[in-house]
């Protein structure tokens, strides 16, 4: 399933044979997942060497293009060398959107697997003078993996606020309020959340391939590989995964709520009366209940202990010429020491020097860099899936001699974290409203980072979830610009990425809570729940305000008070050192 130039040429020859002007290979699956099983990713991996989690490959009989965003520019440039595939940097000047490029170049008839594309994206590709052909060339892929077959498991009652039946009842009422009779849910994390079930079909994402049909009138139906479930779900009828199309055909005339950003173009064509709207579960899932918030806070303390052990390990081994991969493996070991940790929440990013400038760089056993005392920094972005929550934390550790430029940039990054963490905002404010608080220090100096400032975090689910997030402009396909309300957990992770030099990122998770009410309105703020020391060796205190210094010292007091009871004498000494107060 590895890429070879010959594979791409084979596909191009097939396009000529079939009379297609282009074929679009999408990254994802039939459920609009950010990350997907290898069964769905096999086609892109076979025809393109890029390994990032976001990118679309457009192949014509003579040329090929990869469209991806700023998180992956550096990585993509390296991986595409010699492939014959041209990098198209989304968001850069003179680079059109994928759909605009296809229309401009008149790349029709256009082949696309319509089970892998959302209805809205299909419409963006629609061109009055062009034809879209539902095409699937995965048959050209040698040794394509099968769909995963891992078992489903139930959440313990102590892990959730609302039962499956209570969630379905709430969704049913919302369905009726908008005038629909049913809701077809195709997004895997929504299905797992609604049913209080988890699976293992996608690495680091405890979900399972399925469809869920909810209807107060026609009943509730789960479509899943029946070999993966050995229990019944009260009020839900079970069907085989492949039976979804036949079922929809039988209920084609039912007025059915579908999320056009997420339902596949192929599947929705079987409905005669689709009602467009967001799945009610999308917002419900993001607003964590009391049980979820309490459990997540506890989990962050456990995760903080693993990170503290890792920080101690770095200090003890920096002269031992370990690789980035070695550090990533060691951190995973510390997380898994806790019996509540059942997986990572994403592949660990452990990167030093120029590697750290690649936002989603991840070392492998074969491809990595040795971390030596000559490196300025080691950036580690990691997280765990626990029975009680999902974590996502980044710390950048100063290792060797630091340049003035690096110290300045590191300090700006922390100032950005503090500014957004301490913001008070009115009800109705979205992440677009608040994002400027984080970017202002960098924008004042003509700097920026080519990604959002933060994203919503799932509960024992996907580490990235909407509809909450922080970014300075609305990106429709992200669907993460809702107003921030109490119960939402969002990351704050500004950074500085300088190609060929270094990368810096500091990331905390925060939960939105009420602040106060006045005659002018209701106000909210954020409570930081990440419990990991922030490296202070690279700080330029001269450009920090007294309030910023006080925030950092208060944060480290919070970290110390929560982690100290879990530390032995040796680790407690490390904790005291890493959380000691800074002064001018």
Task: Give the residue-averaged pLDDT of 522-544.
Answer: 98
Q: Predicted confidence band at 125 (pLDDT cuts at 50, 70, 90)? A: very high
φ, ψ for residue 119 (rounded to 5)?
A: -60, -40
Q: Predicted confidence band at 581 (pLDDT cuts at 50, 70, 90)? A: very high
pLDDT at 564: 98
Q: Is the pLDDT of residue 172 over 70?
A: yes
Q: Predicted confidence band at 289 (pLDDT cuts at 50, 70, 90)? A: very high
Sign of CA dihedral 319, 323, 325, 326: negative
pLDDT at 402: 96
Q: Residue 221 pairs with which residues in a beta bridge? A: 213, 237
Task: Give the residue-averaged pLDDT of 138-150.
Answer: 94
Write down the residue that tokens 């609604």 correspond to.
194
Residue-wise pLDDT for 562-578, tens only, equals 999 999 999 999 999 99
Task: Give the residue-averaged pLDDT of 157-162.
Answer: 98
Task: Give the residue-averaged pLDDT of 546-551.
Answer: 98
Q: Is the pLDDT of residue 450 over 90?
A: no
Q: Are strands 256-258 and 182-185 parallel, antiparallel or unpaired?
A: parallel
The rounded distance, in Å, linking the Cα atoms of 32 and 358 is 25
The rounded distance, in Å, linking the Cα atoms of 289 and 301 is 19
3-state secondary structure labels for all residues of 322-383: CEHHHHHHHHHHHHHCCCCEEEECCCCEEEEHHHHHCCCCCCCCCCCCECCCCCCEEEEEEC
Q: Do 42 and 145 touch, CB atoms closer than 8 A?
A: yes
Element holding 419 (H helix, E strand): helix 404-421
Write down the residue that tokens 């608040």 correspond to.
434
Q: Predicted confidence band at 360 (pLDDT cuts at 50, 70, 90)? A: confident
Task: Give the residue-averaged pLDDT of 261-290.
Answer: 97
Task: Give the residue-averaged pLDDT of 233-242.
Answer: 98
Task: Give the residue-averaged pLDDT of 250-268.
Answer: 97
pLDDT at 29: 96
Task: Give the residue-averaged pLDDT of 29-37.
Answer: 95
What are the chain's domains? 5-140 (3.40.350.10), 153-285 (3.40.350.10), 287-578 (3.90.230.10)
Q: Is the pLDDT of residue 128 over 90?
A: no
Task: Give the residue-averaged pLDDT of 28-56.
Answer: 94
Q: Predicted confidence band at 153 (pLDDT cuts at 50, 70, 90)? A: very high
pLDDT at 1: 66
Higher pLDDT, 71 or 190: 190
> From residue 478, how far is each of 454, 464, 468 by CA, in Å?
12, 10, 10
Task: Give the residue-averaged pLDDT of 265-286.
Answer: 97
Q: Residue 185 pairs with which residues in a beta bridge? A: 212
Task: Give the residue-averaged pLDDT of 125-132.
Answer: 90
Q: Predicted confidence band at 476 (pLDDT cuts at 50, 70, 90)? A: confident
pTM: 0.95
């Amino acid at each position: 399933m590895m890429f070879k130039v010959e594979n791409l040429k084979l596909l191009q020859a097939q396009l000529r044979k079939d009379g297609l002007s282009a074929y679009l290979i999408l990254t994802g699956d039939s459920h609009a997942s950010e990350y997907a099983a290898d069964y769905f990713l096999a086609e892109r991996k076979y025809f393109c060497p890029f390994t990032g989690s976001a990118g679309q490959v457009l192949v014509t009989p003579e040329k090929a293009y990869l469209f991806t965003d700023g998180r992956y520019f550096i990585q993509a440039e390296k991986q595409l060398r010699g492939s014959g595939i041209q990098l198209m940097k989304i968001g850069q000047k003179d680079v059109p959107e994928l759909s605009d490029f296809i229309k401009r170049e008149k790349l029709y008839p256009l082949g696309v697997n319509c089970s892998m594309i959302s209805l809205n994206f299909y419409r963006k590709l629609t061109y009055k003078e062009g034809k879209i052909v539902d095409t699937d060339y995965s048959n050209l892929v040698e040794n394509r993996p099968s769909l995963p077959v891992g078992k489903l498991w139930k959440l313990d009652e102590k892990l959730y606020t609302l039962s499956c039946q209570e969630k379905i009842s709430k969704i049913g009422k919302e369905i009726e309020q908008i005038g629909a009779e049913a809701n077809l849910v195709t997004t895997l994390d929504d299905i797992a959340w609604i049913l209080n079930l988890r699976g293992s079909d996608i690495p680091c994402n405890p979900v399972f391939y399925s469809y869920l049909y909810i209807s107060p009138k026609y009943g509730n139906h789960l479509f899943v590989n029946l070999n993966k479930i050995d229990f019944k779900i009260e009020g839900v009828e079970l069907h085989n995964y492949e039976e979804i199309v036949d079922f929809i055909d039988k209920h084609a005339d039912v007025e059915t709520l579908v999320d056009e950003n997420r339902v596949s173009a192929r599947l929705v064509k079987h409905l005669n009366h689709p009602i467009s709207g967001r799945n009610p579960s999308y917002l419900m899932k993001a607003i964590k209940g009391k049980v979820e918030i309490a459990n997540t806070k506890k989990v962050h303390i456990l995760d903080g202990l693993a990170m503290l052990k890792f920080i101690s390990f770095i200090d003890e081994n920096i002269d031992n010429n370990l690789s980035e991969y070695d550090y990533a493996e060691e951190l995973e070991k510390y997380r898994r020491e806790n019996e509540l940790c059942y997986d990572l929440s994403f592949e660990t990013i452990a990167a030093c020097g120029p590697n750290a400038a690649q936002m989603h760089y991840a070392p492998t056993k074969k491809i990595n860099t040795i971390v030596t005392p000559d490196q300025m920094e080691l950036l580690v972005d990691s997280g765990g899936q626990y029975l009680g929550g999902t974590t996502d934390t980044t710390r950048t550790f100063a290792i060797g001699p630091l340049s003035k430029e690096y110290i300045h940039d590191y300090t700006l990054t922390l100032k950005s974290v503090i500014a957004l963490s301490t913001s008070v905002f009115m009800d109705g404010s979205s992440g677009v409203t608040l994002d400027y608080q984080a970017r202002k220090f960098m924008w004042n100096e003509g700097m920026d980072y080519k990604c959002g400032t933060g994203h919503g975090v799932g509960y024992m689910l996907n580490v990235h979830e909407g509809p909450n997030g922080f970014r300075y402009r609305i990106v429709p396909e992200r669907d993460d610009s809702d107003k921030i309300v109490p119960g939402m957990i969002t990351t704050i992770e500004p950074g500085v990425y300088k190609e060929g030099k270094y990368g810096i990122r500091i990331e905390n998770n925060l939960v939105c809570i009420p602040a106060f009410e006045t005659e002018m309105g209701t106000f909210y703020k954020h409570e930081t729940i990440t419990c990991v020391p922030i490296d202070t060796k690279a700080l330029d205190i001269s450009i920090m305000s007294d309030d910023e210094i006080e925030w950092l010292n208060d944060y480290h007091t919070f970290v110390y008070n929560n982690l100290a009871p879990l530390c032995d004498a040796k680790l407690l000494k490390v904790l005291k050192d890493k959380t000691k107060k800074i002064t001018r």
